């Protein structure tokens, strides 16, 4: 029941729940959302090689359209974090998935590079916002001993959207000169998630922080009752400690006190990660064509390479709770450096596929780790905002990422692009390894009070 101090002890009551069908329902719903979010994120990469010939585009124009998408992602991450902290996790998740699905469909109606750039910008807003909100929801809903593992499971299924989109593109695009439009229709099918979202509970942690104690208590009782029916009597929740109840913190506080160093670490990690991730993923089909492979061969190789994505996330789900996420992030980043250089230095089709598969595996093993790590470093009242700002600035940095790639390719050739990609991942390893905090098995409400590096 709600206490006289204005809390319902949501953190401890949620953290002591064993994994049950309640958690499985959340996992399925969010995994489905990730599937189409991640698939939609890559639709333009597979349509770009065709547009170069169909619309007579230069590689630099492809870079500008990609940059527009990332500007949208920055705004979406910042707006999504603010909306989620303001109106709740569940409601904002529904709004943003409807948004990105609508504008993905409108991509299919683009009539020139400008209209496509505008639609990619607006799609990026919804994609990024959805990611921030979903990551925040998982971190708040699952207990500390399993939140990383279930983030990995959600991403494993979600990342199937990348090879699925690759193969949809491989099968559809060669059918007709206009068939690239159908790839964007595929991305818009994420709207189906809205049916699953009706089963989600609002985050009791968010309700409590906003003083909605009756709703928080009702939600907790439903969750506890359903869990008891499946798993038997629950252990008593730990007593709540003294806590200052604040519904929201100002943006400026993320750059003060204990949160300053956390925010700086995450900003740098997300900037380097985004430049490295999309420097590889978004450009593989286009660079293969520019390097002399046919469009069909490029899409075939890209489709095989994309199969490494769910394998990487599956590995993340198995190792996320075995070691501290800080050190896993460092190790996987260094592996990406090695595989990225191997990819850029080989020109045999079989070796390109193997090295590309390993790069994709490692960067998608990394993604669930950083997705779980970021919201752990902020309190409930700033979790979505902090996650959104750091994630969003990373996306903003990638406005120049496509321009860097196209410039490097034009001036120094194919291999230089992958030296650049390796350097960005080395940056992630150094920043997190030197300054990142430890988070393994620590409750969210205690992590928000500890110092960085402990």
pLDDT at 4: 41
Segment among 2-11, 137-146, 165-174, 277-286 with least mean pLDDT: 2-11
Residue 303: partners with Cβ closer than 8 Å, 6 or more residues away: 163, 166, 167, 169, 170
The pLDDT > 90 percentage for the chain reads 12
Alpha-helical regions (H) of 173-212: 180-187, 193-197, 204-209
Q: Check residue 244 and give its pLDDT.
A: 47
Identify the CA nearest to 175 among candidates 296, 56, 307, 288.
296
Per-residue pLDDT of 334-377, as tens digits, reads 999 999 888 877 777 778 888 889 998 999 899 889 988 888 88
d(CA 252, CA 275): 26
Q: What's the predicted TM-score (pTM) here?
A: 0.76
DSSP state of 52: H
DSSP structural state of residue 442:
-
Q: Which residues of 19-39 are buried (b: 16+ CB within 10 A; e: fewer)?
A: beebbeebbbbbbbbbbbbbb
Provide, rounded to the nearest whole percent, the portion of the chain with pLDDT above 70: 89
Across the chain, mean pLDDT equals 81
Q: What is the mean pLDDT of residues 192-209?
A: 84
Q: What is the 3-state secondary structure (H, E, C) of 100-159?
A: HHHHHHHHCCCCCHHHHHHHHHHHHHHHHHHHHHHHHHHHHHCCCCCHHHHHHHHHHHHH
Question: What pLDDT does 69 receive?
Answer: 82
- Look at residue 6 in the predicted model and tell me its pLDDT: 62
Write down all domains in the chain, each with its CATH number in brackets.
10-232+253-447 (1.20.1250.20)
Nearest Cα residue to 89 out of 20, 127, 137? 137
Q: Indicate whether 305 pLDDT > 60.
A: yes
Give the pLDDT confidence of 143-175 residue by residue, as tens digits.
Answer: 888 888 888 888 888 878 877 887 787 788 888
Whether residue 451 is predicted with pLDDT greater than 60 in this model: the reply is no
Residues 116-133, mean pLDDT to the nearest whole number: 88
pLDDT tens-digit map of 210-242: 888 899 999 899 988 888 888 888 888 777 655
pLDDT of residue 190: 78
Query: Per-residue pLDDT for 264 more than 80?
Result: yes
């Amino acid at each position: 029941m709600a206490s006289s101090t204005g809390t319902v002890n949501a953190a401890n009551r949620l953290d002591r729940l064993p994994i049950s069908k309640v958690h499985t329902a959340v996992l399925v719903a969010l995994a489905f959302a990730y599937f189409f979010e991640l698939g939609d994120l890559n639709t333009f990469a597979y349509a770009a090689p065709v547009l170069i010939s169909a619309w007579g585009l230069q590689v630099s124009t492809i870079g500008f359209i990609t940059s527009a998408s990332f500007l949208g992602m920055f705004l979406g991450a910042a707006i999504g974090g603010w909306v989620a902290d303001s109106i709740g996790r569940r409601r904002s998740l529904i709004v943003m998935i409807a948004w990105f699905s609508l504008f993905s469909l409108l991509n299919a109606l683009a009539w020139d590079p400008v209209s496509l750039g505008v639609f990619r910008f607006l799609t990026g807003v919804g994609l990024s916002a959805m990611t921030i909100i979903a990551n925040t929801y998982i971190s708040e809903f699952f207990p500390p001993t399993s939140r990383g593992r279930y983030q990995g499971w959600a991403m494993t299924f979600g990342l199937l959207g990348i090879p699925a989109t690759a193969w949809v593109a491989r099968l559809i695009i060669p059918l007709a000169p206009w068939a690239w439009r159908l790839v964007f229709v595929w991305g818009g099918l994420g709207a189906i998630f809205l049916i699953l979202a009706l089963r989600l509970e609002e985050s009791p942690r968010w309700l409590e922080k906003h003083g909605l104690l009756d709703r928080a208590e009702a939600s907790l009782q439903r969750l506890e009752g359903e869990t008891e029916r499946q798993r038997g009597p629950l252990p008593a929740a730990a007593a709540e400690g003294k806590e200052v109840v604040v519904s929201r913190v100002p943006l400026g506080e993320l750059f003060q006190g204990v949160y300053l160093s956390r925010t700086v670490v995450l900003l740098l990690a997300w900037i380097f990660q985004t430049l490295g991730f999309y420097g590889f993923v978004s450009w593989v089909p286009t660079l293969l064509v520019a390097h002399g492979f046919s469009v069909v061969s490029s899409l075939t190789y890209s489709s095989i390479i994309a199969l490494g994505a769910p394998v990487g996330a599956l590995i993340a789900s198995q190792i996320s709770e075995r070691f501290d996420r800080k050190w896993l992030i460092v190790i996987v980043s260094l592996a990406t450096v090695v595989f990225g250089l191997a990819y850029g230095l080989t020109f045999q089709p079989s070796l390109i596929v193997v090295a590309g598969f390993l790069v994709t595996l490692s960067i998608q093993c990394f993604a669930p780790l950083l997705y779980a790590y970021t919201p752990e470093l902020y309190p409930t009242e700033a979790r979505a905002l902090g996650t959104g700002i750091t994630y969003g600035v990373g996306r903003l940095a990638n406005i120049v990422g496509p321009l860097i790639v196209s410039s490097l390719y034009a001036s120094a050739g194919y291999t230089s692009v992958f030296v650049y990609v390796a350097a960005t991942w080395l940056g992630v390893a150094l920043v997190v390894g030197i300054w990142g905090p430890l988070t393994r098995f620590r409750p969210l409400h205690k992590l928000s009070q500890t110092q960085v590096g402990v």
